[in-house]
A = this chain, B = another copy of it.
Amino acid sequence: MGALDEEHYNVELRNGVKFGGCVELGFEEEPETLAIVDAVKVLLEGLGEDFNREGLRKTPLRVAKAIREGTRGYKQQAKNIVGGALFPEAGLATQAGHAGGVGGLVIVRDLDLFSYCESCLLPFQIKCHVGYVPSGQRVVGLSKLSRVSEVFAKRLQEPQRLANEICAALQHDIKPTGVAVILQCSHIHFPNFGSALFNLNHENWVKMLVKSGSGVFDDEKADIWTDFLSLLRFRGINVENTRSRGPDDKSWCPSQTFCKMGPPESAMLGAVSSILSSLGEDPLRKELLETPTRFLKWLMIFKHSNLDLKLNGFARSKRDYSLTSNEEHLCYEVNLSFWSQCEHHLLPFHGVVHVGFYSPNGVINPIGKSLLQSIVHFYGFKLQVQERLTRQIAETVTSILGEDVMVVVEANHTCMISRGIEKFGSNTATIAVLGRFSTDPTSRSKFLQMIPDLSHVEG
C-alpha cells in the first residue's frame, strides 16, 4: 500500500504546486512509460495474477511512474546543481591553520537516501555522510552535497560505484582539496529457503559500508580520514561495527546467492529487460546481464500458490487443539517475520507479526510457533496489502485456535520511502481482533503489553 498514484501528480499540476506552475506534457503517454506499463502486465501475468482485478488495475501505471521517478537521476547532471551555489568565504587570517574557505573539514552527516540495486532492481536504503575540505576560498551550499548525492542515488546502483560517483562529481564541481563519502547501505534479505523452507534469516537487512575519497582523502590511511570518522562517532555512527567490503565480495546483493526457483519464463525476462531499456540503461551492460533473472528470483517468491500445500498439511490438525476449558489463559507468539510484496507498487513490505490467543490452562502454545510462522508466510508470500494480510492471518488462526484471536502486523513499506513521499522512518501497524479481543479492552491491552519495543534494534 502507500499508493502514490497518478492522481497526486495531476493534483499537483492542477494546483500549480511545482514551482513555476507546471503544465502536463503527457508523461503518461511517453513511450518509456507505456513500455514499462506493458512490461509490468507481463510480470503480473507471469505471477498468475489478473491485472484487471481491482487492486491491480492501476498497478502497472503506478509502477511505471514510481520506477521512472525513482531513477530520475539519469536525466540530471551534478554540475548543473553545484553551479550557482559556490560562495566566497575567507580562510584563517594567519597561515598557521585551516578553516573557513581554506582547509577545515565540512561534513554533512545522516543524509537519508535510497537507490535501486542494479543486481536485482530492489530499492536499498542509504545513510550518506559527505565531507569536503574547501580550497580557493570557496564553500558550497550544504544542501548541494545532498542534491548531488541524490542525482547518483536515483539510478540503478551498487554501493561502491555510488560512493565513487558522488565523490568524483563533488571533486570535479567544487574543486576542493578533497572529498570523502561514506555510505551505510541496507538491502532487504531474500528469505533463506536453502536451509529449510520456513527457517528464515532473523536479520532483515544485508548491511554494507563503503568509502570513497579523493584529493587529501585519496589515501585511506591519511590522518584526515581519522578526523572524518571521529566526527561520525559523535552521531552514534560506529563505522567499525559495519562490515566493509572485502576483496572477495563480488556483490552484496542477496539475489546472487539466492537459490533459483525454477527457470524463469522468457516473456518475463523480456519484460524486465524492456524496463531497463526504458530507463535509459543498456541491458547488455555487464552488471545488468543477469539482473532480469535475479529480479525474477525475487518476484517469483510471491507467486500466488507456491506454499499452499504446506499450509493445508498443517491446517488439518485443527481438531486436536480445540479449546474446551474455561481455565484458559492468554498466549502469544511475537516477532514472526514476514516478507510480502505490495500489490499496488510491486515493492516489498516486510516486518513482524504478533499473534495472541487464549489457550487451555498450562499449554503455552498448543500448535507451536512453526505452524503460526507457516501461516504468516503463506499469506505474506504473495501480492498483498497489509490490511488484508492481517485479516487473513487472523481468520486462519481462528479456524485452528478458536474464536479469541488478535493479530498485530508491523511493517516497513518500501513504497513509503522509494516513492514521492520518501518518509524514511515511517512504519505501519495493523490490527485484527476476534472474539473477546474485540469486546474486552483488558484482553487487548494485556496482549499489547507482551509485544517488545524493537525500535532500538531496527535500521
A residues near B (Cβ < 8 Å) are 1-9, 11-27, 54-55, 58, 65, 68-69, 72, 75-77, 80-81, 83-85, 87-94, 96-101, 103-112, 134, 139, 141-144, 146-147, 150, 223, 226-227, 230-231, 233-237, 344, 385-388, 390-391, 394-395, 398, 403, 405, 407-408, 410, 413, 415-416, 419-435, 437-438, 441, 444-445, 448-449, 451-456
Assess the B7–A13 pair: CB atoms within 8 A. Answer: no
The smallest C-beta distance from A452 to any residue of chain B, in angstroms, reads 8
Assembly CA distance A6 to B141 (angstroms): 12
Cβ-neighbour of A427 out of B143, B227, B235 (below 8 A): B235
Assess the A234–B395 pair: CB atoms within 8 A. Answer: no
The smallest C-beta distance from A445 to any residue of chain B, in angstroms, reads 6
Assembly CA distance A424 to B421 (angstroms): 13
Assess the A104–B147 pair: CB atoms within 8 A. Answer: no
Assembly CA distance A448 to B227 (angstroms): 8
Assembly CA distance A230 to B440 (angstroms): 15
Cβ-neighbour of A11 out of B76, B234, B403 (below 8 A): B76
Least CB separation from A88: chain B residue: B54
The smallest C-beta distance from A150 to any residue of chain B, in angstroms, reads 8
Assess the B231–A448 pair: CB atoms within 8 A. Answer: yes
Cβ-neighbour of A141 out of B227, B235, B344, B394 (below 8 A): B344
Assess the B455–A134 pair: CB atoms within 8 A. Answer: no
Assess the B27–A19 pair: CB atoms within 8 A. Answer: yes
The CB with the most chain B CB atoms within 10 A, among A3, A110, A112, A344, is that of A3
The smallest C-beta distance from A166 to any residue of chain B, in angstroms, reads 15
Please indicate the chain B residues that have their CB under 8 angstroms from the CB of A434 in the complex.
Answer: 92, 94, 96-97, 99
Assess the B99–A432 pair: CB atoms within 8 A. Answer: yes
The smallest C-beta distance from A403 to any residue of chain B, in angstroms, reads 6
**Interface of A: prevailing SS:** mixed
Cβ-neighbour of A89 out of B3, B97, B388 (below 8 A): B388
Assess the B19–A99 pair: CB atoms within 8 A. Answer: no
Assess the A451–B234 pair: CB atoms within 8 A. Answer: yes
The smallest C-beta distance from A422 to any residue of chain B, in angstroms, reads 8
Please indicate the chain B residues that have their CB under 8 angstroms from the CB of A420 in the complex.
Answer: 143
The smallest C-beta distance from A125 to any residue of chain B, in angstroms, reads 12
Assess the B97–A437 pair: CB atoms within 8 A. Answer: yes
Assembly CA distance A406 to B100 (angstroms): 13
Least CB separation from A93: chain B residue: B395
Cβ-neighbour of A394 out of B16, B19, B97, B387 (below 8 A): B97
Assess the B142–A234 pair: CB atoms within 8 A. Answer: no
Least CB separation from A410: chain B residue: B234
Least CB separation from A73: chain B residue: B17
Least CB separation from A5: chain B residue: B84
Assembly CA distance A337 to B6 (angstroms): 46
Please indicate the chain B residues that have their CB under 8 angstroms from the CB of A16 in the complex.
Answer: 25, 75
Given contacts A7-B80, A15-B75, 7 further A-B contacts (CB under 8 A): A5-B84, A15-B80, A16-B25, A106-B387, A106-B431, A107-B430, A146-B423
Least CB separation from A80: chain B residue: B11
Please indicate the chain B residues that have their CB under 8 angstroms from the CB of A428 in the complex.
Answer: 106-109, 142
Assembly CA distance A403 to B97 (angstroms): 9
The CB with the most chain B CB atoms within 10 A, among A2, A68, A422, is that of A2
What are 20 A-B contacts defined by CB distance under 8 Å? Answer: A3-B144, A15-B80, A16-B25, A19-B65, A20-B24, A20-B25, A58-B84, A89-B388, A92-B432, A97-B405, A98-B432, A104-B430, A106-B428, A107-B428, A108-B427, A139-B387, A143-B416, A223-B444, A226-B441, A424-B424
